[in-house]
A and B are shown apart, each in its own frame.
Chain A
């Protein structure tokens, strides 16, 4: 089958073309898009978070069949047209990642939150970011989401003025 990933149609190789196969493995083992990580396979840790039609989605529980006709965005496609996403810049400014393994999922979850909520409260962040991080980067994740939100608000108000 063909699948829309990061704005381009991809044809899955035969060995990964199974409608029951979770999106995670089609990305990783079919298309070598390895930025999306495997953590638990049961949707508990969030390391595999991608966007499906803009919504943060745990790709380890999303069969390929459910992706037909939808737009998938992975960490590799988060920086639209080569411009880093506000969360990526904030993540560097706050020096968030440690081992970094869970961070693709964290970033995708944060970007999805900010797409629907430009001024998330701490409670909004608590509710939206359920990804697990064994290194304990949570304080920096929270700070970086607030910083990215402020940056996005600034950019959109400047855009409105222009």
Chain B
């Protein structure tokens, strides 16, 4: 507790230094109309909203669409306040001003327990931390789509921007008609007076821009017509006709194509390439040029071949003879996953004593000594690849002192900064066009491929170049979900109730490394305690009087990054498998045992009860089947999953998953349901099959056959249920992933009596 308080005090002091304390209304992100470029006939009303000549509402979109439905859901907020249909809203790219930054994801970096941040009952420390981070976040303006934060971040500012625009449009109509604004309504793209008289937004926009908005209020919940409805996604027509443009679909005039090949060893270097080899390469049909690519942020060196098609470029890159070298650091920096697993396990066993305590209360050592019964277990999780369906790519043109980029990215502002550094120009000479993302899952929070594309385009004589990684490069040069291990110990009283909970975990820190690569101005020591390392462990929800949950940060020389649900992705497996072990040790039902430790967290209990009820928990199943359960909060959303499993030749086969969640106010239940279904499939892929093995510095898994994804035939029935809530919305992109693996392992235990503590569950 003491260290956590210290950490927050530090942040609080920083915040106070910058601004002093004060109110932070959502209007601080309204933005001036000048932030929005306008074309002929358009009128901007603030930094988010402009009105086209035909009256259409245009929204500055600051988030990347990678399948999570954010383009639709954010438009719903605006449609609601302006009284138009969601489908009628046009999207324009947001610029780089700080109002478009992501404050919510930074608030999510605070190491707060479930009890400290329960909505409406936040502790003083939590309020101070949230206020400070929010203020810092607004100053910083880091634009990032990730951390399941888009809706939480947009919830107030976007509705506020739309409501302000609405008030101005209404005021303009009131002035035109010389009537009080109070009797007027904004509906169907018009302002109406209730007697049949109406003025379209297009006719009012120029006047509206001159009106003061007056007292702006948000539409009350009872009047919502867009929010809370399963509004159809606005991007699907293009996605079923082949018209949606992803990164690799960009076709600027005169486009050339490049393929990348990295040194096979992680951290490896490009050695000699003989003149004969280069000659041979350049004689291949349609091949134009060879480019050496420096290591991105201390990573792996590569070559790129420019050609007239991606196929020619990939073939040539593959055939080129290169002397690949090991990392300059020698054997000490060459990773091997077998050795790493042993080291993580050994470190985890010491970590409760030696590590940084993210949570500590009571006297856990004394409690463990005094209890009649102790349970302990070591859990392990492997490295994982993102494997987005669209491999890494970026298209760049460097000409006339300017850089233009078209790419799928989760961090356009960081792409701009990197492109400026690589090309040696000012950031305002760089344009970034964000395409649809063929999957993100955190991989596109890194920007290595963008820097490579700029570097290659610098050698292309002003022509645009589309740089593409073959699947094998994508799989073998990812920023992997770090491997982790946790040694869990608990002490139970004679009734089986947990009195002590002691955890030591080990693994590489993600955030400090990511900051160093992607946001260098914010980077600090790699050994800064990283909340993502312990999230899902230190914030476990169960009321245990004595706890110590500590983590040792390791240095394994494997590039690691954000992977859907980040630390929760493996830590939930550790926590929720272990609580299940305690339930069985206590001879208690796993749902009842959890509920007995959740008296003061009614939202958690409600989610667990809903999942259990909908799954028929406790009712008989056909022979050869069993159920398992897990409950986990991440990104502010509480999810419980009940998995029904059968034994298919000593391998678990999942027949049904029931998922219940509390994500605060539901903006679009259709999107929430599909995100949960997708997360279950993503979680099941990892739980059953996911592993990246590294032997002598080289990743063994090259493509889908050896890094299998769950297929349609293996996909179980998935049912999703939401707990009604009036709280502010929280994340939905990631929180469905963490509970799946432990629920499955717990079901397997219930079925077979065999406790599997290492992922993946199928070797």
- Chain A residues at the B interface, C-beta cutoff of 8 Å: 15-16, 18, 21-22, 24-25, 28-30, 32-42, 44-45, 47, 74-76, 78-79, 84, 88, 91-92, 95-104, 107, 125-127, 129-142
A47, B308: Cβ atoms under 8 Å?
Answer: no
A134, B389: Cβ atoms under 8 Å?
Answer: yes
Among the listed stretches B66-74, B78-86, B365-373, B636-644, which one makes contact with chain A, having 4 or more residues with CB under 8 Å of it?
A: B66-74
A40, B240: Cβ atoms under 8 Å?
Answer: no
B240, A88: Cβ atoms under 8 Å?
Answer: yes
17 further A-B pairs in the complex, CB-CB below 8 A; given A42-B704, A75-B242, A97-B233? A18-B285, A35-B242, A75-B241, A84-B241, A92-B240, A98-B678, A99-B390, A101-B389, A102-B438, A104-B242, A134-B387, A134-B389, A136-B682, A138-B681, A138-B710, A138-B715, A139-B715
A95, B241: Cβ atoms under 8 Å?
Answer: no
23 A-B pairs in the complex with CB atoms less than 8 angstroms apart: A15-B312, A30-B309, A34-B245, A34-B248, A34-B249, A35-B243, A37-B248, A75-B241, A91-B236, A95-B233, A97-B235, A98-B69, A98-B675, A99-B66, A100-B239, A130-B711, A135-B389, A135-B682, A136-B678, A138-B711, A139-B718, A141-B712, A142-B715
Known A15-B286, A39-B471, A88-B241; contact A132-B236, beta-carbon cutoff 8 A: no
Q: Residue B178 at the A interface, CB < 8 A?
A: no
A41, B239: Cβ atoms under 8 Å?
Answer: no
Q: Residue B522 at the A interface, CB < 8 A?
A: no
- Chain B residues at the A interface, C-beta cutoff of 8 Å: 65-69, 230, 232-233, 235-246, 248-249, 251, 257, 285-286, 308-312, 314, 387-391, 436-441, 468, 470-471, 670, 674-675, 677-682, 703-705, 709-713, 715, 717-718
- Complex CA gap A28/B468 in Å reads 13
Return the contact of A99 from the options B438, B709, B712 (Cβ within 8 A).
B438
The residue in chain B whose Cβ has the minimal distance to the Cβ of A127 is B713
B390, A36: Cβ atoms under 8 Å?
Answer: no
Known A37-B390, A97-B240; contact A136-B681, beta-carbon cutoff 8 A: yes
Return the contact of A15 from the options B69, B235, B309 (Cβ within 8 A).
B309
A25, B242: Cβ atoms under 8 Å?
Answer: no
Say what secondary structure dominates the interface of chain B.
loop
Known A97-B240, A134-B682, A135-B439; contact A44-B704, beta-carbon cutoff 8 A: yes
A99, B389: Cβ atoms under 8 Å?
Answer: yes
The residue in chain A whose Cβ has the minimal distance to the Cβ of B437 is A99
Residues in B neighbouring A30, C-beta threshold 8 A: 309
Return the contact of B236 from the options A79, A95, A104, A129 (Cβ within 8 A).
A95
Chain B nearest Cβ from A12, distance in angstroms = 11
Known A75-B242, A99-B437; contact A126-B712, beta-carbon cutoff 8 A: yes
Number of A-B contacts (CB under 8 A): 188
10 tightest A-B CB contacts, nearest first: A35-B242, A136-B681, A101-B438, A99-B67, A98-B67, A100-B239, A75-B242, A136-B678, A126-B713, A29-B309
- Complex CA gap A39/B713 in Å reads 20
Residues in A neighbouring B238, C-beta threshold 8 A: 100
- Complex CA gap A99/B439 in Å reads 6
- Complex CA gap A55/B703 in Å reads 25
B680, A136: Cβ atoms under 8 Å?
Answer: yes
Return the contact of A103 from the options B239, B388, B715 (Cβ within 8 A).
B239
B703, A99: Cβ atoms under 8 Å?
Answer: no
A97, B239: Cβ atoms under 8 Å?
Answer: yes
- Complex CA gap A64/B681 in Å reads 35
Return the contact of B712 from the options A29, A135, A142 (Cβ within 8 A).
A142
The residue in chain A whose Cβ has the minimal distance to the Cβ of B466 is A29
B703, A76: Cβ atoms under 8 Å?
Answer: no
Residues in A neighbouring B704, C-beta threshold 8 A: 40, 42, 44-45, 132
